[in-house]
Amino acid sequence: MVELSEEEQRILAYLREQVASGDSYFRAKNIAESIGLSAKQVGVRLPNLSEKADEVDIEKWGRARSTTWRVTRS
């Protein structure tokens, strides 16, 4: 089992809940607003979570003004 920080656990719990009904697309700032972290805190952790998380697949999807992340159930 991979050791996750408290912030990573909060992000992962939020993402699991949001993708329970199917694939979703997120921006770090929207996740941050929902769980009480800064967009920078979330944005820095998402690439690491994409490699650590077993329950969801996190993929860098697009970049317009900010990076969009595609999250699917594993």
So where are the chain's domains? 6-73
- pLDDT at residue number 68: 93
Reported as type and span, the H/E element at residue 58 is strand 56-63
What pLDDT digit, counting tens, does each position of 31-73 carry? 999 999 999 999 999 999 999 998 899 999 877 777 899 999 9
Does the structural domain 6-73 have CATH classification 1.10.10.10? Answer: yes
CB crowding 20-35: b at 16 or more within 10 Å, else e: eeeeeebbbebbbeee
pLDDT at 9 > cutoff 80 = yes
pTM: 0.88
- pLDDT at residue number 23: 82
CB crowding 45-58: b at 16 or more within 10 Å, else e: bbeebeeebeebeb
Cα(67)–Cα(30) distance, integer angstroms: 11
